[in-house]
């Protein structure tokens, strides 16, 4: 299966071309806007990783679209040191 990819924000965003119009319609044209968009937490296993739900406007004006974003935050230096000291 071939998926056509569209580059946005100077190549920092790689989006399935079928969904790029939805991102554009919601003003999510930069990685900063995607990262900072309001969402509600769904699952948070670790401090560094969580899944959040967002509702997006449909490009054709229909019902809002439900989508999920998985966000990763870099591990802090203290966490890395703690993991190293415990041989994890």
pTM of the model: 0.66
* Residue pair 29/21 in contact by the 8 Å Cβ criterion: no
Q: What is the pLDDT of residue 88?
A: 56
In the predicted model, what is the mean pLDDT of residues 1-7? 91
Mean pLDDT taken over the chain: 86
Among 48, 43, 44, 23, CA closest to 33: 23
Pairing of strands 49-56, 65-72: antiparallel
Nearest Cα residue to 59 out of 87, 88, 30, 18: 18
């Amino acid at each position: 299966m071939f998926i056509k990819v569209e580059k946005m924000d100077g190549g920092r965003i790689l989006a399935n071309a079928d969904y790029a119009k939805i991102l554009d319609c919601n003003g999510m044209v930069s990685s900063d806007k995607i990262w900072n968009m309001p969402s509600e937490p769904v699952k948070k296993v670790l401090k560094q990783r969580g899944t959040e739900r967002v509702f997006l406007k449909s490009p054709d004006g229909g019902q809002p679209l439900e989508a999920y974003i998985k966000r990763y935050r870099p591990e802090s230096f203290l966490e890395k040191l703690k993991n190293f000291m415990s041989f994890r």
